[in-house]
């Protein structure tokens, strides 16, 4: 176990990436999360902001909705991995591993050790649909923190199979990306076409314009590192990595050599490290008052980072001939020196995505069965690899059942693809008419069988409606 620990130290040294820079994938409101993060065709009023702005116009005429931090804030949190559940964590922690244990643990990392966290909070949103001739308007302010950290499988091969003679372990699949963005958006939508006499078949269009403040950004631009083994006690390390980043002046502390001695100010309104602009575009069609079909492209734009920008180059080559030497970590720290250069400024894209959805509303009361049902299906495709996005397509479907007026909404759904694969959502909603409360999780399996859970998520919100 001592050699495993020391080898892990080597990994951290040659990657130049700390576990403090874990990342995450997207977030959602409580209703959508409970339905398997299904939202494209069913999100309305303030919840359609950032999803499909055309959905704003679906609301009835002269309807107003807004949410703030009272009575319940609009908050979404999540964290997890794609390789390690609680049962495995308890089993492998604090014990000497047998050969079978090492192979089983190594197999868990076959797709890379991905660790994700996320948090988002909607600080204020308000929407108002005037009528079909004038349209609907909305403004919103929302914070989003997202990212991911991936531990390479080549390292676990070395850790658990031992340093076999004349082997090369590639760790180029290691990655880190994380960001903290605040979006100020203004949206407009209206009905643009009505093609049947009963007025039941309609087409809506909408647009959102966003001012984006970025407080923090980090990601690797290149990971080109590998390990070669010689005899039993020899490991040759090679690293050529670079990371780019930026940070708000209010989130860094200058040392005594700087001309300005600034304390860390992580208040609610830190100064931005970067600014940018974005656009959401969407259309939605309503058919016979039971079908909704939605198409949107969101977060078209970029952020230009200017404050405390840095380009970190981490290079070096070192031969370790004795893994048990007491000053190994100090030797590595002295050998693998990082160089930091100010980049002046750099630009990154927003997490642009294509969103397609369809929903069907069924009134079961007509068939002498209690309540109403809503069925929904989504397809989401990221167009870049920025934090909060995935180039792997994600599919989901969800249902919402309202048995009776005095019984809460019961919601469930399933999500497939993206970064972390399968999720099973569940949640409840209470609508009093004036005030609506929602709570949901994307990971019911982690609640009913916590020992098998790899991911935990929770979201809750409230919205005022007039």
CATH number at residue 122: 2.40.160
The whole-angstrom separation of Cα 44 and Cα 442 is 20
Q: 302-332 burial by CB neighbour count: b if 16+ within 10 A, else e?
A: bbebbbbbebbbbbbebebeebeeeebeeeb
Cβ atoms of residues 311 and 252 within 8 Å: no
Which of the 8 DSSP states describes residue 287? E
Instruction: Give alpha helix (H) positions in 364-443.
Output: none
**Per residue in 130-141, pLDDT tens?**
998 999 999 999
Reported in sequence order, the residue ranges of 345-387 that DSSP labels E, i.e. its strands, are: 346-349, 353-363, 372-382
Q: What is the pLDDT of residue 222?
A: 78
CA dihedral 50, 37, 142, 302 (to 10 degrees): -50
DSSP code of 79? Answer: E
Q: Which residues contact 122 (CB under 8 A, 6 or more apart)?
A: 29, 46, 67, 73, 74, 75, 140, 141, 142, 461
Closest of 152, 144, 92 to residue 117, by C-alpha: 144
pLDDT of residue 297: 95
Closest listed residue to residue 46, CA positions, set 202, 205, 212, 185 = 185
Do the beta carbons of residue 319 and residue 235 sit within 8 Å? Answer: yes
CB neighbour burial string for 379-409, b if at least 16 within 10 angstroms, e if fewer? ebbbbeebbbbbeeebbbbbbbbbeeeeebb
What element of type H or E holds 260?
none
Number of domains in the chain: 1
pLDDT at 266 (0 to 100): 63
Q: What is the pLDDT of residues 249-300, one digit of tens each?
A: 888 765 544 444 445 566 778 899 999 999 999 999 998 888 999 999 999 9
Tokens (6 digits) for 216: 């923090």
pLDDT of residue 256: 46
- In the chain, which stretches have pLDDT less than 50? 1-25, 256-262
For 165, residues 6+ apart whose C-beta sits below 8 A from its C-beta are 229, 230, 231, 232
pLDDT reported for residue 14: 42
Q: Which of 231, 341, 352, 373 is nearest to 300 (CA)?
A: 352
Reading phi first (left if > 0) and then psi (alpha if -120 to 50, else beta), residue 289 is in: left
Domain of residue 177: give its range.
2-465
Predicted confidence at residue 231, as pLDDT, reads 65
Tokens 């966290």 belong to 117
d(CA 272, CA 269): 9
pLDDT at 331: 53
State both tokens at 311: 């380009």
């Amino acid at each position: 176990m001592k050699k495993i620990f020391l080898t892990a130290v080597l990994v951290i040294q040659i990657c130049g990436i700390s576990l403090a820079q874990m990342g995450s994938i997207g977030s959602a409101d409580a209703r959508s999360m409970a339905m398997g993060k299904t939202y494209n065709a069913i999100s309305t009023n303030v919840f359609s902001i950032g999803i499909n702005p055309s959905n704003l116009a679906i609301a009835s005429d002269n309807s107003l909705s807004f949410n703030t931090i009272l009575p319940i804030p609009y908050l979404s949190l999540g964290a997890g991995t794609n390789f390690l559940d609680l049962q495995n964590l308890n089993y492998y922690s604090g014990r000497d591993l047998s050969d079978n244990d090492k192979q089983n643990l190594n197999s868990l990392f076959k797709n890379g050790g991905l660790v994700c966290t996320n948090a988002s909070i909607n600080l204020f949103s308000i929407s108002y649909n005037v009528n079909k001739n004038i349209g609907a308007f909305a403004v919103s302010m929302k914070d989003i923190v997202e990212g991911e950290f991936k531990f390479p499988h080549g390292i676990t091969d070395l850790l658990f199979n031992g340093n076999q003679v004349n082997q090369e372990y590639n760790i180029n699949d290691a990655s880190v990306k994380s960001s903290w963005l605040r979006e100020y958006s203004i949206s407009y939508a209206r009905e643009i076409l009505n093609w049947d006499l009963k007025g039941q078949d309609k087409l809506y269009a909408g647009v959102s314009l966003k001012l984006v403040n970025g407080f923090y950004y980090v990601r690797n631009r290149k990971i080109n590192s590998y390990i070669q083994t010689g005899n039993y006690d020899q490991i040759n390390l090679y690293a050529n990595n670079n990371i780019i980043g930026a940070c708000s002046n209010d989130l860094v502390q200058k040392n005594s050599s700087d001309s300005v001695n600034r304390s860390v100010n992580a208040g609610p309104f830190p100064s931005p490290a970067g600014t940018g602009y974005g656009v959401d575009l969407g259309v939605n069609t309503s058919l016979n008052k039971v079908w909704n079909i939605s198409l949107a492209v969101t977060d078209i734009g970029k952020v230009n980072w200017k404050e405390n920008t840095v380009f970190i180059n981490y290079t070096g080559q070192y031969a370790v001939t004795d893994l048990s030497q007491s000053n190994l970590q100090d030797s590595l720290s002295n050998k693998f020196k990082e160089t930091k250069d100010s980049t002046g400024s750099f630009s990154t894209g927003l997490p642009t995505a294509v969103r397609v959805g369809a929903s069907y509303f069924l009134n079961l009361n007509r068939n002498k069965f209690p309540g109403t049902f809503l069925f929904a299906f989504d397809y989401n495709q990221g167009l870049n690899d920025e934090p909060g996005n995935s180039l792997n397509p994600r599919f989901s479907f969800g249902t919402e059942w309202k048995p009776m007026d005095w019984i809460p909404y019961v919601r469930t759904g399933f999500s497939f693809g993206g970064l972390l694969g399968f999720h099973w959502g569940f949640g409840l909603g209470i609508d009093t008419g004036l005030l609506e409360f929602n709570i949901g999780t994307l990971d019911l399996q982690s609640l009913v069988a916590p020992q098998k859970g790899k991911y935990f998520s929770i979201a809750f919100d409230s919205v005022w409606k007039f």
